[in-house]
Amino acid sequence: MTMTTAEADKILSANFAPWVLDLGLTVEAVGEDRAVLRLPWSGRLAREGGGLSGQALMAAADTATVIAVSAARGGFVPMTTVQQSTSFQRAVTGADVLIDAVLTKLGRRMAFADVTLSDAASGALAARASTVYALLG
């Protein structure tokens, strides 16, 4: 059975540090091997010049991976980031960001995902990330 967005939002609110919750992330969609989150535009997250900070985008990619793994496993399990590599392609200014995390491999102890971060207004690709997680439970 596929996890609902409401169940995924509960995982988000119950398992992340307060500063991550301050990003305002919401779950837009979940599937058997993916999660789509929305990072709302906020001037608090912008750098000089108005582009969203890379730190906020990387945290959003990391968080989306946890939700994707949780959806695939049928619920949250303790996990930790082993590796994340992010390539930034364009600044996002004045628009929400959609974060689409797709699992490429889910094993018993490790999970791998490709993440795209796109300007929600234009659809333009802003960044790509690859993540690796160790599953602890």
Q: How confident is the model at residue 137 (pLDDT cuts 50, 70, 90)?
A: confident
Digit-coded pLDDT (tens) for 34-81? 999 999 999 999 998 889 999 999 999 999 999 999 999 999 999 999
pLDDT at 1: 60
Q: Is 110 in contact with 132 (CB distance < 8 Å)?
A: yes
The SS3 of residue 42 is coil
CA dihedral sign, ordered 82, 87, 92, 98: negative
Mean pLDDT of the chain: 96
Mean pLDDT of 78-90: 97
Which residues, 6 or more positions from 33, have their beta carbon under 8 angstroms from its beta carbon? 68, 71, 72, 102, 103, 106
Q: Tell me whether residue 91 is exposed, middle or buried, using C-beta atoms within 10 angstroms of its C-beta: 0 to 12, 13 to 18, 19 or more.
A: middle
Token pair, residue 91, equals: 């600044």
The pTM for the full model equals 0.95
CATH of the domain at 110: 3.10.129.10
Give the range of the structural domain holding residue 37, as residue numbers without chain letter.
3-133
Mean pLDDT of 7-18: 95
pLDDT at 48: 87
- Total domains, the chain: 1
